[in-house]
A and B are shown apart, each in its own frame.
Chain A
Amino acid sequence: MGANAVNGAASAVAFAAPAVTMRDISVDFTRDRNTIRVLKDIDVAIPTEAFIAMLGPSGCGKSTLLRVVSDLVRPAKGSVSVFGKSAVEARRNREIGFVFQDATLLPWRTVIDNVRLPLEIKEGASRIAGSYSPEEMLALVGLDGRHNAYPHELSGGMRQRVAIARALICRPRLLLMDEPFGALDELTRDKMNEELLRIWRETRTTILFVTHSIAEATYLGQQVMVMAANPGRIRETVPIDFGDDRSPAVRDTPQFLAYTARLRRLLEAH
C-alpha cells in the first residue's frame, strides 16, 4: 500500500540506485521491563537526490527511523542499506549528515569552529570524498560575516543555518533532518524552507526531512511519507507534484491546499 517510495513525482530519479533502502525494519525499546515495538515492518526505498518529507504525530517513531538510518539505533529485525552499504559503513564514511531539532551547537565554540567540528574528527576523515571549507559552507547557508559570533549571540534561525553548514561540510550524500525548524517562528521557518530547497538544488544531497507540519512537508517534499503511531508504521506515501514550481507562492495555490487537506485526512485516520 504505497509504502514503497519509488513512484510518482520522483520518477525522474527513480531508476538510479536508491540512497536508502529499508527492508522489513522493526525497532523495539524496552522500558520498565516492557518491550514496545516502536517501528513495525518499515519498507522504504529513498531515491538518490530526492527530497522526502516524513510526516507523523509525535511519538510515532520518526526520530527513531532517522536514527536507524544513521546507525544510532540498531533495528530488532530487518536490514538498512545506505548507498548500497551498511548504515555503519555509511556513517564511518561520513556519507550521512544529521540536523537535530535544536541546532546543538557547542556553545564554547564560535560559529566557524562549530562548522569545522566534523573536520576535526579523525575517524573517516581520510575517507571523505572532499570537504568544503568552513567559509564556503557559511556562505552557502547565508551566514557570511558572523564567523566569530558565539551561538548565544545568534537567533534560532541563524543557529540552524550553522547546524546545516556543519552537517554538509563533509559533503554527505544523505542529509537527515529531524524537525529542524520546529522551534522557529512561522516567518523564519518559511524563509528557512526556501533556503533549504536552494541548498538542496545546489548540493544535490538526498534529504530525508522529518516534520509534524503539514504545510512544511507539502512545500518541501517531492514525496510525503505519512506515518501512523502504535506501532510506528508508514501509512501512505503521497507524491507531491507542482511541476518545477517551488516558489513560495505555490503555498497559496488551490493545488497546495488540496495536498494539505489530503495529508491531514491521512494523519487523522485511525
Chain B
Amino acid sequence: MVADTMQSIAPRFKWSSVFLSYPALLTLIVIVAVWEGAIRFFHVPDYIAPAPSVVALELVRQLPNLAVNVVPTLLEALGGFAIGNLSAVLIAVAMVRSPFVEKCFYPIAVFIQSVPMLAIAPILVLLFGTGYTPKVTVAALICFFPTLVNMVRGLKAINPQAFELMRVLSASNSEIFFKLRLPSSLPFLFAALKVTAPSAMIGAIVGEWIGSRYGLGAMILEATYNFRAPMLYATIFVATSIAMALFGIVGLVERRIIRWRVGDVY
C-alpha cells in the first residue's frame, strides 16, 4: 500500500512525455538507428562511412586528443566572434550617426561579404603567418557582415512615436541614441549574435585548414588524409556540439536581457 502511494505521488520519468515536448529527439533516434542498421546490413567499411556506434567508441578513445585540440579552435572562434561583432557594432553606430560614413563603408562591407572565405584564408596566412591571427581574422570576417547589416537595421528601426516623444522632450541626439536607438536595436543585435556564434566556429576551422598543426580543423584534415572516418565524424560531432553550445549561451543571455516582444507597441 505505502509503496503504491509513493509511486503515484513521485514524478515518474516517462519517455512518452519527453518525446511529446521534443519530437525532434524521436526523429534523431530514428535517423541514428536507420544509419546504424544500414551500415551493418550493407557491410559498409568504417573508412567509407562508420556506424554511429563506431563513432561513439572513437569519440571516447580520442577524448584526450580532442580536449587538447578544442582549446585553440574555441579561443580562435571566441576571439573572432568578439572582434568581428564589436567592430560591426561600432561601424554600424558610426554609419547610423553619419550618412557620409555609411557611404564610405557600406560598399566595402558588401565587398567583404562577397569574398569567399576559403579563398581569402590563404591570403591571411601569407599576411599573418600560421599563428592564431589568420584564424581569428577569418572568424571575425565571417561574423562581421551579418551583425553590421542587422545592427544598422536595428538602430534605424525605432518606433516613430517614441522618436516624436523624445523630440517633444527636447532630447539631444546622443540622448536619443542611448535611450532609444541602442535599446531598440538589441533584439536585432541578438538575432545576429545567434547566427554568428556558430559561424565563428566555422571560420576558425576553415582558418585551421589552410595552415595549422593544431585545432579541430587540423584534426579533420589529418583524419581525412589518413582515411580515419570515425575520427573525422567524432571531430565534427565535437565541433557541432560547441557551435550549438555557443548558440545556446547567446540565447540564454538574450532571454535575460530582452523581456519585451519585438514589433509590439506598448
Interface residues of A (CB under 8 A from B): 67, 70, 72, 91-92, 94, 96-98, 100-108, 117-118, 120-124, 150-152, 154, 159
Complex formed: what's the CA distance from A152 to B169 in Å? 23
Which of B258, B259, B265 is within 8 Å of A102, CB to CB?
Answer: B265
Residues of A close to B161: CB separation below 8 A: 100-102, 104
Closest 8 CB pairs of A and B: A107-B260, A151-B266, A123-B170, A105-B266, A104-B161, A98-B168, A102-B265, A121-B169
Least CB separation from B261: chain A residue: A152
A-B pairs under 8 A by CB, number:
75
Residues of B close to A120: CB separation below 8 A: 175, 179
Q: Which of B165, B180, B261 has the most CB of A within 10 A?
A: B165
Interface size class of B (residues with CB under 8 A): 20 to 34
Residues of A close to B266: CB separation below 8 A: 102-107, 151-152, 154, 159
Dominant SS among interface residues on chain A: loop
Complex formed: what's the CA distance from A108 to B186 in Å? 10
Residues of A close to B166: CB separation below 8 A: 121
Residues of B close to A72: CB separation below 8 A: 164, 167-168
Given the interface pairs A98-B164, A100-B165, the reply to whether A152 lies near B260 with Cβ below 8 Å is yes
Residues of B close to A159: CB separation below 8 A: 266
Q: Is B38 an interface residue (CB 8 A)?
A: no
Shortest distance from the beta carbon of A34 to any chain B beta carbon, whole Å: 22
Complex formed: what's the CA distance from A121 to B161 in Å? 17
Complex formed: what's the CA distance from A101 to B170 in Å? 20
Interface residues of B (CB under 8 A from A): 159, 161-162, 164-172, 175, 179-180, 183, 186, 258-261, 264-266
Q: Which of B168, B259, B264 has the most CB of A within 10 A?
A: B168
Q: List 17 A-B contacts (CB under 8 A).
A: A72-B164, A72-B168, A91-B168, A91-B170, A94-B169, A100-B164, A102-B265, A104-B162, A104-B265, A107-B264, A108-B186, A120-B175, A122-B175, A124-B169, A124-B170, A151-B260, A152-B264
Residues of B close to A103: CB separation below 8 A: 266
Complex formed: what's the CA distance from A91 to B169 in Å? 7
Which of B165, B171, B179, B180 is within 8 Å of A98, CB to CB?
Answer: B165
**A108 touching B260 by the CB < 8 A rule?**
yes
Complex formed: what's the CA distance from A67 to B183 in Å? 26
**B179 touching A96 by the CB < 8 A rule?**
no
Which of A97, A121, A154 is within 8 Å of B171, CB to CB?
Answer: A121
Complex formed: what's the CA distance from A118 to B171 in Å? 9
**B164 touching A106 by the CB < 8 A rule?**
no
**B180 touching A106 by the CB < 8 A rule?**
yes
Given the interface pairs A100-B164, A152-B266, the reply to whether A121 lies near B183 with Cβ below 8 Å is no
**B183 touching A152 by the CB < 8 A rule?**
no
Q: Which of A91, A101, A121 has the most CB of B within 10 A?
A: A121
Residues of A close to B180: CB separation below 8 A: 106
Shortest distance from the beta carbon of A107 to any chain B beta carbon, whole Å: 3
Least CB separation from A109: chain B residue: B183
Residues of A close to B164: CB separation below 8 A: 67, 72, 98, 100
Known: A67-B164, A100-B161, A151-B266. 10 other contacts (CB 8 A): A72-B168, A98-B168, A100-B164, A104-B265, A107-B264, A108-B258, A108-B260, A122-B175, A151-B260, A152-B266
Complex formed: what's the CA distance from A92 to B171 in Å? 9
Complex formed: what's the CA distance from A159 to B171 in Å? 22
Complex formed: what's the CA distance from A129 to B25 in Å? 64
Complex formed: what's the CA distance from A104 to B164 in Å? 10
Q: Which of A67, A97, A98, A103 has the most CB of B within 10 A?
A: A98
Residues of A close to B171: CB separation below 8 A: 121, 123
Least CB separation from B178: chain A residue: A120
Residues of A close to B162: CB separation below 8 A: 104, 106
Complex formed: what's the CA distance from A117 to B179 in Å? 9
Least CB separation from A88: chain B residue: B170
Residues of A close to B172: CB separation below 8 A: 121-123
Residues of B close to A123: CB separation below 8 A: 169-172
**B260 touching A117 by the CB < 8 A rule?**
no
**A96 touching B165 by the CB < 8 A rule?**
no
Complex formed: what's the CA distance from A105 to B172 in Å? 19
**A118 touching B169 by the CB < 8 A rule?**
yes
Shortest distance from the beta carbon of A240 to any chain B beta carbon, whole Å: 28
Residues of B close to A91: CB separation below 8 A: 168, 170
Residues of A close to B179: CB separation below 8 A: 106, 117, 120
Shortest distance from the beta carbon of A27 to any chain B beta carbon, whole Å: 16
